[in-house]
Chain A
Amino acid sequence: MEDKAIRIINLHKSFGMQKVLDGVDLEVEKGKITVIIGKSGGGKSVLLKHLIGLIKPDKGSIWINGIEITKLKEKELNEIRIKFGMLFQEAALFDSMDVFDNIAFPLREHTKKAEKEIEKIVENKLKQVGLLRFGDKMPAELSGGMRKRVGLARALALDPETILFDEPTSALDPIISLTILELIKETQTDLNKTYVVISHDLMGMFRIADKVAFLSEGKIIEYGTPYEIRKSKNEVTMEFLNATKIPGFSGGEL
């Protein structure tokens, strides 16, 4: 049995002259939270979008549960995508639908469940993210943090094996950030899913990560537990750590 949910091997991607990924190698363990840290504009989102085939690599391969997805056709890729949930940076809720329909959407499209059953699932997901009475609100009426919670509920709707998070705490105040992080941790622990999170919020991520990978100059330069990363002697990592360090604050448990 494969214990790695995702294997990324020597992944390259350029946009025009700009090299974004320059040989990324990374293995994501099943049932764990793996956080990919890196500078803004350093290719984290591009890496994440490769994992569900939203972007095709120039070179290299990605294996998901032992299947090489970089060679798949759109139809076969969709069979893989269905096992994934994704929380986009700005949540990417469909703004023509209310919160309830947003969460129900993947269920209506991909399952033959009766409307009653769908209603139950959506309510359950809304409860999970603490927004039980918000079903009839439109996305435009919600705050950034609420939108992300709805986005998480939608990502959880089909009970996917793996969920990808694109900067889940960006543009949120520290208190809302913390609720989102706790929600991520809670849902992951409860459901024992594989989570891949990309972020530049190092301190926040130390709270939830099982493994941290450091993406710099298009490569993974460090990989380890949060504890190992914090003890790192790598120059780039240390620079990143020092920049986010607040005197007297250790930044979560070791």
Chain B
Amino acid sequence: MINVLLKPLENIVREFGRISMMLTESIYLAFVPPFKLSYIFKQMEFIGVRSVFVIILTGAFTGMVLALQSYYGFKKFGSEGLVGATVALSMTRELGPVLTSLMVSGRAGSAMAAELGTMRVTEQIDALTAMALNPIKYLVTPRIIAAFLVLPVLTVISDFIGIIGGYLVGVKLLGINEGAYIDKMIKFVELNDIYNGLVKSAVFGVILSIVSCYKGFYAKGGAEGVGRATTEAVVASSVTILVTDYILTSFMF
């Protein structure tokens, strides 16, 4: 019985150890020449630029629904003017970074796991090693750097669009007084709220990229194995992001 409970725990601890080792190695390799800037730019384009549309959509609807929900709550005690501040605080501190990271891990993290997994099962990773090149430096390091740099930018977009969405619903649709809406927002949201959200998102970027790369890098068992790696990558990085979010938030605020 104890064994049944301990086994999954043991696996989690082991995976955590291996992922940390891979992360340490890939960070170390980022400082060892030759530097592969073009690889990083390519990944930034893939993780960042191509996620913009989905981030705009998610951000807009999150901001809009937040305005809608909080309006009904605040209306009960006549403080609709706080809707703007609520939307802005929720977006910058929490929903912007978390939802952006979850969307990117679904979009780009799954692709990283699938690509690296395919490279593993078709021996392309072995081919790199056989050519005396370190596959972690070529495949993992650029993805981690790119995600680390790009996630905060995407989060800024998400925050901004979410606030706009909240404004449109709150002021234009529900008729909240524009002056109160914006005034309360400016009064309650501090720069620190935004900064902390951005720091979180950079950490989430590292998490989603290292977890996805790790899952793909050690995929085995042909097409089925690649499929499994992809699913595990998204599930594991999403769960890790949410857990880390709690830990970081409790330290930051």
Residues of A whose CB lies within 8 Å of any CB of B are 49, 52-54, 74, 77-79, 81-82, 84, 86, 88-90, 92-95, 105-106, 109-110
Residues of B near A95 (CB, < 8 A) are: 118, 122, 124
Q: Give the 8 A-B CB pairs with smallest separation, nearest first.
A: A78-B132, A81-B132, A92-B123, A92-B127, A86-B130, A82-B132, A88-B123, A92-B124
Known contacts: A90-B122, A90-B123, A92-B122. The answer to whether A54 contacts B132 by CB under 8 A is no
Question: Is there contact, CB below 8 Å, between B129 and A54?
Answer: yes
Distance of A162 from chain B, by nearest CB (Å): 12
Complex CA distance for A81 and B135, rounded to whole angstroms: 14
B126 within 8 A of A: yes
Residues of B near A94 (CB, < 8 A) are: 119, 124, 127
Complex CA distance for A92 and B118, rounded to whole angstroms: 10
Residues of A near B126 (CB, < 8 A) are: 49, 54, 88, 92
B49 within 8 A of A: no
B133 within 8 A of A: yes
B191 within 8 A of A: no
Contact with A along B111-134 (1 / 0, CB 8 A): 000000011001110110111111
Q: How many inter-chain residue pairs (CB < 8 Å) link A and B?
A: 44
Complex CA distance for A77 and B130, rounded to whole angstroms: 10
Distance of B217 from chain A, by nearest CB (Å): 14
From B118, B122, B124, B130, contact of A81 by CB (8 A): B130
- Most-contacted residue by chain A among B123, B126, B127, B133 (CB, 10 A): B127
Complex CA distance for A93 and B131, rounded to whole angstroms: 12
Across the interface, name the chain A residue whose C-beta is closest to B127: A92
Question: Is there contact, CB below 8 Å, between A109 and B131?
Answer: yes
Distance of B116 from chain A, by nearest CB (Å): 11
Q: List 23 A-B contacts (CB under 8 A).
A: A49-B126, A52-B129, A53-B129, A54-B126, A54-B129, A54-B130, A74-B134, A77-B132, A78-B132, A81-B130, A82-B132, A86-B130, A88-B123, A90-B122, A92-B123, A92-B124, A94-B119, A95-B118, A95-B122, A105-B131, A109-B133, A110-B131, A110-B132
Which chain B residues in 191-212 approach chain A with CB under 8 Å? none
Distance of A91 from chain B, by nearest CB (Å): 9
Across the interface, name the chain A residue whose C-beta is closest to B138: A109
Across the interface, name the chain A residue whose C-beta is closest to B130: A86
Residues of A near B123 (CB, < 8 A) are: 88-90, 92
Question: Is there contact, CB below 8 Å, between B130 and A52?
Answer: yes
Question: Is there contact, CB below 8 Å, between A86 and B133?
Answer: no
Across the interface, name the chain A residue whose C-beta is closest to B129: A54
Q: A94-B127, A95-B118 are in contact. List 4 more A-B contacts (CB 8 A).
A: A79-B132, A88-B123, A94-B119, A110-B131
Complex CA distance for A74 and B129, rounded to whole angstroms: 10
Complex CA distance for A49 and B126, rounded to whole angstroms: 9
- Most-contacted residue by chain A among B123, B130, B133, B134 (CB, 10 A): B130
Distance of B28 from chain A, by nearest CB (Å): 13
Residues of B near A52 (CB, < 8 A) are: 129-130
Distance of A119 from chain B, by nearest CB (Å): 19
Question: Is there contact, CB below 8 Å, between B133 and A84?
Answer: no
Contact with A along B92-123 (1 / 0, CB 8 A): 00000000000000000000000000110011
Across the interface, name the chain B residue whose C-beta is closest to A94: B124
Complex CA distance for A53 and B129, rounded to whole angstroms: 9
Residues of B near A49 (CB, < 8 A) are: 126
Question: Is there contact, CB below 8 Å, between B131 and A106?
Answer: yes
Residues of A near B134 (CB, < 8 A) are: 74
Distance of A48 from chain B, by nearest CB (Å): 10
Complex CA distance for A136 and B132, rounded to whole angstroms: 25
Distance of B89 from chain A, by nearest CB (Å): 42
Residues of B near A86 (CB, < 8 A) are: 127, 130
Complex CA distance for A151 and B59, rounded to whole angstroms: 46
Residues of A near B122 (CB, < 8 A) are: 90, 92, 95
Across the interface, name the chain A residue whose C-beta is closest to B126: A54
Distance of B119 from chain A, by nearest CB (Å): 8
- Most-contacted residue by chain B among A84, A92, A93 (CB, 10 A): A92
Contact with A along B168-184 (1 / 0, CB 8 A): 00000000000000000
